[in-house]
Chain A
Amino acid sequence: MQKNIKKVGGRRRYSVDELRNMVRGAIAQLRTPSTPEHPLESWQRQQAAQSQISQALEFGRRDLLIPVRDAFEKWAEETQAEHDINSQRMGSRAENLGILPERIEPNTLEAELSRSLDILSKKDTLLQKILVQITEYREAIESGDFDIALNKIEEIEREHGVSYFSIEAKLSHVYEKFGTDELKKTARTLALHGRSLQRFFIYNFGVRNEPSQGAARFKINIKRRIESSAINQNLQAYCRFRLYGDITTTSRGVALIIAYDQYTTKIDLYFTLLRACTHILANSPAFSSAEIEAAKKTINFLQFTPSLTLERICEGALRRVLRISPAVVESNTESFITIGIASFLSTHGDGLASEDFEKAQLNRSRCLEFYGIEDAGTSQNLPALALSCLMEDVQPFSTSKSVNQILKSRLSAALESTSDDLQASEAVRALSRAKKFHRAGQMGEAIECLRSALPVETKNSVADMLLVCVAHLQLESDDREGALRTIAAAGVANERIIPILPLDNLFQNTRWKVLAEYNAKSELAICLDFYVRNSGDRKFRSYKRYSVEDLMESNGATQLSELVKPLHESGIQLELLEYFFHYVCDVYTIELLPNIGRSKAVMETRALLLRELAKLQTASDYLYIQEAQDIESQIELTDVLDVLDGSKVYVDERAITNAVNAELSADFQRYLRLVESGVGQSESLATVLQNLNSPTAKTFQIPDNEADNLFAEILSQIKEKFLFDPAAGLDIIIGRRIRHGTIASELRAPLERVGLIGQRPRVGAGYAPPDAALSITSKIDPKYKKYLFAAFARFSEAIDLQIAVLRDEMFHVTTKTKPRGIFELQLGIGALALSRSVAQSCVTIDNFSRECLSLFWYFLSLRLDTVKKTVESDLRKSLQSTFSKLVKELNSLSVNDELLAQVQQSSEELQRRAANIASWIRVPNMEADPRSYSMRQIVDVAVAVVCGQRAGFKPIVNAIVPDSMQLDAHGFSIVSDALYIAIDNISQRSGKKVDNKVNITISFDSQVSIINFLIENEITNNARTPEKIQQLERIRNNIRSKAFGDSARRDKGSGLSKLAAIVMQDRKACIDFDFTSKPGFYLKFDLVYVNSNPSTVALNGHDSLPAQEVGAL
């Protein structure tokens, strides 16, 4: 058999016998028995049979000669009729609707029109009958009787079967009558036995009726979903047509849609033919004369006489928008459409009428009145229409049936004749005169007559129309400054007309030296702002800034806010002034103005400017104040974040000195006595140094000098505490503030945000391709896919390796196990001599321990200054090399520029992050910080830090805090650490990253001087597992037995232990956590509030609380 198979274009070609057998086979499927192993419902058999028959018919269409094909189709139809499958009806069985051949290749448009006429003419009697029913249905709608309309649809379904026409009509009437819930229920019922495409259609017919679904949004969403599906391009085009009426102006596109509906139902074919033919006639220039003739012939056959004339509707819409008394309307539908088109013409209004119109176009595809006006939404608005009538010679009468062309012709006709009805409008009369002046080259007169017609009230489309025309005429007559002023005023009054103002003509290819000559600087800046918004031209953004700078200079202003008063006094229109300061002077512009120099000054300048603007008491002053307040809060938050960033390398000095004082006080006093008794100095400091650096080596030796030996021991212990105290030492705090997620987030978060970095599902597994790689797989040659994924896997691994080096090797105190640790405190002979002399000048251990810590910081800083530069430089180089490799690999795979640009932007971002990471390497200066911090600020900071680090974590935080509570820098440091750990724990463990409701309650118990923290959050169901419950129990036991030290030193997965290390420094404080039934999680912990001046404490509604220290002391 195989060798007899004929192929056409690489595809198999079927003979008529084979196709008959396919149909017979399909019929036989109806008798397939239902068995317990393979249960089959009757509708499933029907669907299988229909699918195979549709496929056979499409093959016949493609492969058979016309007479043979006709005979085959006739035979197939009769055979189906014998077995009660669709073909004799105008509609279809519900379960068989939407069963289409896999792929349809249309013939020419003429051929498809002709074939469709054949199909329908064979059912002429039924067609006539259903047309009567459809007319009755339309009359019911027109009279607003949706009950009768719905009954009529059900009658049509009973007699003829279902169709897309009936389903779409039914759903829209169900919604109109019963609302959204019933609509969804009906859609679900109708889709019950449908195949996947059918279910997709019906579901979305329902969605597009929902009141919350905007027409434009619906189209965008559906288009994206269809395009991302695996179905072929031809079927995609049909889906777009079926779901939102998308129809192209190519012959093949129209032919394709018609061809598909030859396989749905004859009712739908009827409506699609009407739609296609009106579309062809409305867009006649895009089609051949033969196609236009075929469309006319088809419309005649379909007996379609529109009840409304487009000319009449367009006339009505123009009258409406020109504010001329409306013509008498004949029907509800005519009124609805007229208002809809008028809303597209209007440049004002809330857009509700146009949205209603577009939605009706979507949902009333069965309303023939909407046929032929599909392009109404793309028609020009009144100012654009008037401008083209003024500047061009528009044919007063057009053969085109497009809405825009009819509107344009109608308005143009009105300008040419003084007796035209539309000349009832003063604006139209002015336009008419201006057109005559324009033709005669009398530009001044033309402008003047338009200006004189400007209405007093300018917030309307008529005023917009006149201003747009004036601006164009001014520019044509080379009055560029005049045009600037008109454009600025018109655009500020109504931003919708900015696209039709002559900005391109004004600015395109113009250099600054030309613009610098204009006197109207504020109007120039405003116009440049409009131009940048439209064109995105970077150069003009600079020009905009230059014009602001020139204005400042000419008004003697050194700060932007100083410009408000002189500009206001210069008499510039208030609206323009507001636009200038609010929109033109945006952050991007302010940044490079003179005397700015840093980011904080930008924000301060903007806030000050807005406050000055608010003083003018315009209608928007409260908005300006609100924005200024937001900026000021942001400045405060940024300040505090900077403090936090500057103290990542930190030691809780008070905790250390307290511990040292308690442990070493007696030793220190003994040392002082030894010094007094004359045994204070050894011969060689080298010996002391040796004792200091290797204390164990000297354990069993008799000391040469007892005082120095004791001194070395004291110093060694202080150093040990400074570096390694398990709660307050340098290494544990670096672990908490830098190693615990911070480095990883700093480098990974920006890449995760744009989907450039993959993740490993488990340790040792390969990297999953990131979103950016997945999104372009369809755009590259499939054989390169694995290379693309491999390139991203290598990139991801390199970044993670870099993180690991920083986290596991570099950001550590140098020890034998961490030889690459960058925090190395080596005390040489000089340091020793210095500290010994300091010790001998101190009276108490408290003095000495404080002095020691200062010395330690000093000696540490000497090294860190060098290390910082090396770390930054190495990190930058390493990142640059990693990105460079990725770019080279992507280039070799010919990926698109968009992805390469994204990689480049991320590379820059990571270079900045490298600088940021290096900036953490510095000794803190917290003790010198005289500021106090409110508890609310600290909560905000902790949330901001976690959200900044954890890509995608967006909780809803509700914080109840004692508003008057203020903490000093030390307290701030401890509380922000604790809150950071707690909130980060939520981001990592709750399983709910978005909209997780986090309640933070902070209260102060003045009786015991304890601040209580309660943090509750939501978790996903799978966040609570038996393993996690066990793990929590283990942590709890460790905390009870105070065995959390080792866990707290770990850099990953140790949040609660780290928190316990902070909290459990005082026996009054406790920590508790568990899952709740919601499902949720709570975490309670305490921090001791150390009040140095109890008499002034006033909390909970009292006046104020002085800045105090917090800690577990």
Chain B
Amino acid sequence: MSSTVRALLIEDDDAKGQTVYGSLNREFSRLKILGDVTFAGSVQSAIEWLKRDSFDLIVADMSLPTFDVKNAESGGSPRPLGGLEVFDFLERLGLKVPVIVITSYPVISDGSTHMKFSELEATLSLDFPDIFIGSIYYDSTFTNWDEKLGHMLNNIFKA
């Protein structure tokens, strides 16, 4: 691991992204780690970052647009399980980067299949045991997600 921890934060919601970003920085400083967080707002931009850069940590939302949403770009096809595509891509490249999933949805639907938060966690544990660290249910009205994130970071970087 490099001296600076490089984190990729994959999140399309700016407000949530900023909150998670703040939390990550707090935890890095608590752990006395120099953190460098890069934002990706879609599956496509996450994949592009992973192709051209190396990261020590990924914090990913599950439901993502295909492209970064901006003026004259509505984001392409919505990918309710877009976070999983990031896992697939890591597997394809053989990258062993720890991934924490942060989602705001208790149930995620990919058209025909509906996956509860607990089922998602079980699927990820089974399919990607080497890189999946855990998932966090994000609710901005509570702070327990923040504590859980701190706990997971602690496990990754103090281990």
Q: Assess whether A900 is in contact with B114, with CB atoms less than 8 Å apart.
A: yes
The reply to whether A599 and B140 contact each other, CB–CB distance below 8 Å, is no
Pair B44/A591 contact, Cβ less than 8 Å: yes
Let me know if A880 and B44 touch, CB within 8 A: no
- Within the complex, the shortest CB–CB distance from B14 to chain A, in Å, comes to 6
Q: Are B110 and A919 in contact (CB under 8 A)?
A: no
- Residues B78 and A598 in contact, CB atoms below 8 Å apart: no
Question: CB of A592 within 8 A of chain B?
Answer: yes
What residues of chain A lie closer than 8 Å to B143, measured between beta carbons? Answer: none
Within 8 A of A (CB), among B94-110: 94, 104-110
Complex Cα–Cα for A639 and B67 (A): 17
The answer on a CB contact under 8 Å between B107 and A542 is no
Q: Does A546 contact B (CB under 8 A)?
A: yes
Asked if residues B80 and A592 are in contact (CB atoms below 8 Å), the reply is no
Query: Is B36 part of the contact surface with A, judged by Cβ < 8 Å?
Result: no
Q: How many residues of A contact B (CB 8 A)?
A: 48
| Contacts A512-B91, A536-B112, A536-B113 given; does A877 touch B107 at CB 8 Å | no
Q: B91 — which chain A residues lie within 8 A by C-beta?
A: 511-513
Q: At the interface, yes or no: B3 with Cβ under 8 Å from chain A?
A: no
For B71, what are the chain A residues with a Cβ–Cβ distance below 8 Å? Answer: 646, 919, 922
Cα A897 to Cα B111 in complex, Å, equals 12
User: B67 contacts A901, CB within 8 Å?
Assistant: no
| Stretch from A119-127, A134-142, A755-763, A906-914 that touches the partner | A906-914
Write out, one digit per residue, whether chain B residues 36-56 have a CB within 8 A of any chain A CB (1) or not (0): 000000011001100000000
Contact (A592, B43) CB under 8 Å given A897-B107, A904-B105: yes
CB pair A912–B88 under 8 Å, yes or no, is no
Q: Which residues of B contact A646 (CB under 8 A)?
A: 71-72
| B147 CB-CB contact with A under 8 Å | no
**Given A873-B14, A884-B141, A908-B63, residue A901 in contact with residue B72 (CB < 8 A):** no
Partner of B92, one of A512, A876, A881, A909: A512
Residues of chain A lying within 8 A (CB to CB) of residue B116:
897
For the complex, is B121 an interface residue (Cβ under 8 Å from A)? no
- State whether A872 touches B14 (Cβ < 8 A): yes
Report if A1102 contacts B (CB, 8 A): no
Q: Give the residue among B47, B74, B85, B113 with the most A Cβ atoms within 10 A.
A: B74
Which among B12, B67, B80 has the greatest number of chain A C-beta atoms within 10 A? B67
A634 at the interface (CB under 8 A from B): no
For A876, list chain B residues within 8 Å (CB).
13-15
Q: Chain B residues near A538: list those with CB within 8 A.
A: 81, 84, 110
Contact B67 A884 (CB under 8 A): no
Interchain CA distance A511-B112 in the complex, whole Å: 22
Q: How far is B96's CA from A936's CA once the two chains are assembled, in angstroms?
A: 54
Distance in angstroms between the alpha carbons of A880 and B12 in the assembled complex: 13
Cα A218 to Cα B159 with chains together (Å) = 64
Assess whether B73 is in contact with A599, with CB atoms less than 8 Å apart. Answer: yes
Among A516, A591, A898, contact of B76 (Cβ-Cβ < 8 Å) = A591
| B78 lies within 8 A of A587 (CB) | no
User: Is A1097 located at the chain interface by the 8 A CB criterion?
Assistant: no
CA A539 – CA B69 in complex, angstroms? 24
Interface 1/0 per residue, A517-559 and B, CB below 8 Å = 0000000000000000000101100110010000000000000
**For residue B15, which residues in chain A have a CB less than 8 angstroms away from its CB?**
873, 876-877
B94 CB contacts on chain A under 8 angstroms: 513
The residue that A916 contacts in the complex, of B74, B76, B92, with Cβ under 8 A, is B74
Flag whether A682 is at the interface (Cβ < 8 A). no
Question: Within 8 Å of chain B (Cβ to Cβ): is A645?
Answer: yes
**What residues on A are CB-neighbors of B67 within 8 Å?**
591, 597-599
In-complex Cβ contact of B106 among A588, A596, A887 (8 A): A887
C-alpha spacing A919/B74, complex, angstroms: 10
- How many angstroms from the CA of A909 to the CA of B80 in the assembled complex? 11
**Which residues from B are CB-within-8-Å of A909?**
78
Chain A nearest CB from B112 CB (Å) reads 5
Q: Which of A585-615 contact B (CB under 8 A)?
A: 587-588, 591-592, 596-599, 602
C-alpha spacing A912/B106, complex, angstroms: 19
Residue on A nearest B47 in the bound complex, by CB: A592
Q: Which residue of B lies closest to A543 (CB)?
A: B88
Query: B59-72 interface mask toward A, CB cutoff 8 Å, 1 = contact, 0 = none?
Result: 00001011101111
Whether A884 contacts B80 by the Cβ 8 Å rule is no
Q: Is the CB of B74 within 8 A of A900?
A: no
Give the residues in chain B near A539, CB-CB below 8 Å. Answer: 84, 88, 127
Report, nearest first, the 8 A-B pairs whose CB atoms are least far apart.
A901-B109, A900-B107, A642-B72, A542-B88, A901-B114, A897-B114, A904-B105, A591-B66
19 further A-B contacts with Cβ under 8 Å, apart from A880-B13, A898-B114, A912-B74, are: A513-B91, A536-B113, A539-B127, A542-B89, A587-B77, A592-B43, A599-B73, A602-B76, A873-B15, A877-B140, A884-B141, A887-B106, A904-B80, A904-B108, A904-B109, A908-B78, A909-B78, A915-B69, A919-B70
